[in-house]
């Protein structure tokens, strides 16, 4: 068996590294390919990225909804979301926009409007009730009115068509027996109602707004205008769950003028934030945080500490909104920018297939890697096994020399090898020991093959000298501290061999020779 002395081990380990790289590519490459396919399949169940623009219907441009929506827009802009506002006549128009205009995602509407008009839509969800906005009824009279029944036969501004004020005023007036047949209803509101009430063109006007609204502050300064006290406020709130009974304490609007001059009972619906179901779920917590920031800073006289909340809603509560009210904002949105948190939230569904696919790979890969490394080391045992098989047969000096050369190259390259992982040094040194074991056997067989020829030369040296002069390879066994080498490059004429040389060689090859190192004995 012949082998190039400069490439036996180095080529072997280069091949081992190449095959290991191919193995890792097969294991991990295939695993990651399967994981990638799993991710692609899971991606179909993930919502698309949230939009960067939202459109909201906000009612009249001179109303409180519009003002609050502008404050929402400022908060959302900090997170890179642009809020576009769409004005209308009021809550009823906002409902219509939300139902029919695909561009509208959100709306602020007056609580009770849907119930009063029997509005129902499975595609609309409630996000929150934002704040209480009382019903203010200002009227011109010499004496205070006890209740709404006193407005029979008067001229009343009930609010613009399509507004929540018009819907609520029509409901309450009807329940008190005030109908268009006995009383004149004018479909005006806002600044126009204020103007006509101030100049005496109408007797009363209905407003649903916050205490800080311009209409309330302006009309409170007119001495001959009264604010209706809803003495039966508890009855209204019992009959209509969307209404809350509130009290306007004496002097709370204007301490200098002591307005109102006594406590006034009012009824108040809640402004509701509603949305179409197509609104991206990850936007809901951000919208509610913006609303909470705005309304907690709003100095409303009727702002309950629990608002915004899900207390006065009319439509089914959005699931993301429910989680927000139960547990607060999502954890990631508390500490990360919205877009980063949204990415991780949407990608959370990928964790399960990733773990399912990658965990078995992490378990299988290390044992497979160890087996692969050891299999490369064990391949050398095939050579040793072949040598031992030859040693059990008839002696072939030529083959023994080839085995010897192979073993010497193996030892030399093992000495030069530096990149064996420490975890596999046990196999490495076991290989060295086994190489040395086979090497000893080869040495013994070579000695045994040398002894008969030496004895024949001692008995009749002249016969050896009388033959034709031929060149033969002499094997000189020499030992050093590092390795055993066979020098087969020395050639000489057998006729020059003397009896003394042969005897000296026998003495050198004797097992009792002290020059032979203990390593080979």
What is the C-alpha to C-alpha distance for residues 179 and 185, in angstroms, rounded to an integer?
A: 9
| pLDDT (average), residues 96-110 | 91
Comparison of pLDDT for 306 and 156, the residue scoring more: 156
Residue 85: CB atoms within 10 Å: 19
> What are the phi and psi torsion angles at 355 (to 5°)?
-65, -40
Using 50, 70 and 90 to split pLDDT, how confident is the model at 469?
A: very low
| pLDDT (average), residues 197-212 | 90
- Label each residue of 85-130 as H, E or C: EEECCCHHHHHHHHHHCCCCCEEEEECCHHHHCCCCCCCEEEEEEE
Pairing, β 106-110 against β 53-59: parallel
| pLDDT (average), residues 18-24 | 59
Residue 507 has pLDDT above 60, yes or no: no
Residue 493 has pLDDT above 90, yes or no: no
Q: In the chain, what are the domain boundaries? A: 379-509
227 beta partners: 138
What is the C-alpha to C-alpha distance for residues 163 and 110, in angstroms, rounded to an integer?
A: 9
Give the helix/strand (H/E) hosting 267. strand 264-276
| pLDDT (average), residues 368-397 | 75
When mean pLDDT is compared across 40-44, 49-53, 161-165, 476-480, the lowest value belongs to 476-480
When mean pLDDT is compared across 55-59, 385-389, 456-460, the lowest value belongs to 456-460
| pLDDT (average), residues 110-115 | 80
Helix axes 351-378, 425-459, angle to 10 degrees: 10
What is the C-alpha to C-alpha distance for residues 20 and 187, in angstroms, rounded to an integer?
A: 84
Distance, CA of 408 to chain centre: 58
Give the end-to-end CA distance of the chain in Å, rounded to a whole number: 25
Comparison of pLDDT for 492 and 59, the residue scoring more: 59
Asked if 268 and 240 count as a contact pair (C-beta separation under 8 A), the reply is no
Length of the chain: 521
Residue 89 has pLDDT above 80, yes or no: yes
- The token duo for 56 is 């909201």
Asked if 488 and 401 count as a contact pair (C-beta separation under 8 A), the reply is yes
- Per residue in 350-378, pLDDT (tens digit) is 666 666 666 776 776 677 767 766 666 66
What is the C-alpha to C-alpha distance for residues 89 and 163, in angstroms, rounded to an integer?
A: 6
| Helix intervals (H) in 90-232 | 91-100, 113-116, 164-175, 190-198, 214-219
- The token duo for 155 is 């001229």
- The token duo for 342 is 């949204």
| pLDDT (average), residues 260-281 | 91
| pLDDT (average), residues 495-510 | 38
Residue 455 has pLDDT above 60, yes or no: no
Instruction: Provide the sign of the torsion angle of the four alpha carbons 299, 300, 305, 306, taken in this order.
Output: negative
Residue 499 has pLDDT above 50, yes or no: no
Mapped onto helix, strand or coil, the DSSP state of residue 424 is helix
Instruction: Provide the sign of the torsion angle of the four alpha carbons 343, 345, 346, 349, taken in this order.
Output: positive
- Per residue in 413-439, pLDDT (tens digit) is 777 766 666 766 777 788 888 888 888
The residue written with tokens 């081990």 in the block is: 9
Q: What is the predicted pLDDT for the residue at 494?
A: 35
When mean pLDDT is compared across 291-295, 432-436, 500-504, the lowest value belongs to 500-504
Single pTM value for the model: 0.59
319 beta partners: none
Asked if 59 and 66 count as a contact pair (C-beta separation under 8 A), the reply is yes
Provide the CB-side half-sphere exposure for 3 (13 A, CA).
23
Q: Alpha-carbon Rg of the chain, whole angstroms?
A: 50
Using 50, 70 and 90 to split pLDDT, how confident is the model at 216?
A: confident
Q: What is the predicted pLDDT for the residue at 454?
A: 47
Round the average pLDDT of the chain to a whole number and report it: 75
**Peptide bond between residue 472 and the one before it cis (omega within 30 degrees of 0):** no
- The b-or-e profile of 12-48 (16+ CB within 10 A means b, else e) is bbeebeeeeeebeeebeeebeeebeebbeebeeeeee
Residue 461 has pLDDT above 50, yes or no: no
């Amino acid at each position: 068996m012949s082998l190039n002395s400069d490439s036996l081990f180095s080529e072997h380990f280069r091949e081992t590294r190449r095959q290991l790289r191919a193995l890792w590519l097969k294991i991990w490459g295939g695993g990651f390919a399967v994981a990638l396919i799993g991710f692609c399949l899971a991606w179909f169940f993930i919502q698309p990225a949230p939009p960067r623009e939202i459109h909201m219907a906000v009612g009249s441009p001179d109303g409180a909804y519009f003002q609050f929506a502008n404050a929402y827009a400022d908060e959302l802009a900090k997170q890179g979301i642009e809020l576009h506002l769409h004005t209308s006549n009021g809550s009823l128009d906002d409902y219509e926009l939300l139902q029919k205009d695909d561009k509208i995602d959100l709306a602020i509407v007056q609580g009770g409007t849907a119930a009063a008009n029997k509005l129902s839509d499975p595609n609309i969800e409630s996000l929150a009730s934002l704040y209480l906005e009382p019903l203010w009824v200002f009227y011109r009279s010499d004496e205070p009115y006890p209740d709404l029944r006193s407005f029979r036969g008067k001229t009343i501004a009930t609010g613009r068509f399509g507004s929540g004020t018009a819907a609520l005023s029509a409901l309450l007036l009807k329940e008190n027996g005030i109908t268009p047949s006995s009383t004149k209803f004018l479909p005006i509101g806002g600044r126009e109602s204020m103007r006509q009430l101030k100049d005496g063109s109408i007797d009363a006007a209905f407003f649903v707004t916050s205490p800080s609204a311009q209409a309330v502050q302006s009309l409170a300064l007119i001495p001959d205008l009264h604010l209706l006290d809803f003495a039966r406020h508890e009855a209204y709130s019992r009959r209509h769950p969307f209404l809350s009974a509130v009290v306007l304490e004496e002097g709370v609007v204007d301490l200098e003028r002591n307005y109102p001059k006594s406590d006034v009972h009012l009824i108040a619906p809640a402004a509701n934030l509603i949305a179409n179901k197509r609104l991206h779920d990850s936007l809901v917590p951000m919208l509610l945080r913006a609303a909470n920031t705005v309304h907690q800073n709003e100095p409303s006289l009727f702002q309950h500490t629990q608002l915004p909340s899900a207390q006065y809603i009319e439509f089914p509560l959005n699931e993301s909104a429910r989680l927000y009210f139960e547990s607060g904002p999502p954890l990631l949105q508390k500490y990360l920018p919205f877009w980063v948190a949204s990415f991780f939230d949407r990608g959370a569904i990928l964790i399960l297939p990733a773990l399912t696919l990658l965990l078995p790979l992490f378990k299988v890969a290390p044992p497979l890697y160890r087996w692969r490394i050891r299999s490369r080391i064990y391949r050398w045992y095939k050579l040793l096994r072949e040598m031992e098989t030859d040693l059990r047969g008839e002696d072939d000096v030529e083959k023994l020399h080839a085995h010897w050369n192979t073993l010497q190259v193996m030892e030399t390259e093992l000495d030069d090898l530096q990149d064996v992982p420490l975890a596999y040094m046990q196999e490495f040194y076991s290989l060295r020991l086994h190489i040395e074991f086979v090497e000893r056997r080869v040495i013994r067989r070579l000695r045994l093959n040398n002894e008969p020829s030496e004895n024949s030369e001692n008995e009749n040296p002249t016969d050896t000298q009388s033959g034709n002069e031929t060149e033969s390879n002499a094997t000189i066994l020499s030992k050093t501290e590092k390795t055993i080498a066979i020098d087969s490059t020395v050639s000489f004429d057998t006729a020059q061999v003397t009896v003394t040389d042969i005897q000296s060689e026998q003495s050198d090859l004797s097992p009792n020779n002290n020059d032979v190192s203990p390593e080979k004995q």
